[in-house]
Structure 1
Amino acid sequence: MFTTPEQFAAANKATVDSLLSLANTALASAERIAALNLNTARSVMEDSVSGAKALMGAKDVQEAMSIQASLAQPNVEKAVAYSRSVYEISAQTQEELSKMVEAQFSEFQKSVAGLLDKAAKSAPAGSDVAVAAVKSAIAAANSAFDNMN
């Protein structure tokens, strides 16, 4: 029932590896969003400059209004595309993180079940009811987690 230093070290290494994987996923997502923001800002700046040049070249108010109206639609489309890209990045990141958490929870379930079995074998006589109650509580928690997913 006792944990050896090797088991403890292996558990710590697995935890550090999991946290590193989570951090890498989060940083990759932040990097993708930062790149999207920079590209969007660059595009907006270029469009603004070309729009301003076009407006300055207008010969009358009617032409200026026409140019201004023609500039609005592409900006709306770009805003929608930007929102869609942010959503896709966020959804992909959420999916990756969810898979990692599910894998960790699965490993945790196996570990707890193994420890409980070891404890049940070395438990004093008459503790069967307590062990069964703990197993039932764990099964209920696992069921609740599965239903959330």
Structure 2
Amino acid sequence: MSTLIPQQLVAAQQSSLETLFGLTSKVFEGFEKLVALNLQISKAALAENQETLTKAISGGNAGELLALQASLSQPAVEKVVAYGRQVHEIVSGVQSEISAAAAAQGQQFQREAQGFVENLTKNAPAGSESAIAAWNSAFSTANTVYESANKAAKQFVSKVSTVQ
């Protein structure tokens, strides 16, 4: 075997670690956005509740209180819908970045595995044709499984996104 194989393994491991840390960073960025959104919503809700309670206390009769309560229901629904939309945008953004990175990583793995099998085939000793055929069969099967899983995952994500 050539000394290039250990170098390739180190490079592949380093690439995988960089991808992992990149994805972890993206997840934390999404988490930070969600926390910031929740803090913003909490502050606004606190201020609105204070204003509403002040109006309710200062209102002298039950009619004004009922009118105040009725006037708050529609904006509350709109705020909940807007909040849900913002959460969905944040989560979708992180999800799409992770999906893209996973697809790129899967394609890179396929290329590296194919290169490994080709290198193995070139450097195989005489009489190892059956072992090489087994490697090629295993690699072909792994590619087929990967393609099927990738297709199923994309369909699942598409259906989940459509439902939301």
TM-score (norm 2): 0.80
What is the SS of the residue equivalent to 1:93? Answer: helix
Per-residue deviation, residues 80-132 of structure 1 (Å, max 9, x unmatched)? 11111111111111110010011111111111111111112233445434433
Work out which structure has the larger RCO, using CA pairs closer than 8 Å and 6 or more positions apart in sequence. 1
Q: How much does 1:133 deviate? A: 4.1
Residue of structure 1 in register with 2:68 after alignment = 67
Residue number in structure 1 paired with 2:23:
22
Where structure 2 has 5 or more consecutive residues not aligned to the other structure, the ranges are: 155-164
In structure 1, what is the equivalent of residue 158 of structure 2?
none
Aligned match of 1:98: 99
1:83 to 2:84 alignment: yes
Q: How far did residue 35 of structure 1 move?
A: 0.6
- Whichever residue aligns with residue 108 of structure 2, its letter is E
Identity fraction in percent = 34
Task: Tell me what 2:42 maps to.
Answer: 41
Q: Which residue in 2 is equivalent to 1:108?
A: 109
- 2:157 corresponds to which residue? none
In structure 1, give the amino acid aligned to 2:113.
V
Cα offset, 1:30, TM superposition: 0.5
Number of paired residues? 149
Equivalent-residue separation in structure 2 for 1:127 and 1:8 (angstroms): 24
Which letter does structure 2 place at the counterpart of 1:12?
A: Q
Could you say which residue in structure 2 is the equivalent of 1:120?
121
> C-alpha deviations, 1:39-72, integer Å up to 9, x for none?
0111111111111111112121111011011112
Gaps of 5+ in 1: none
SS at match of 2:59: coil
Shift of 1:23: 1.1
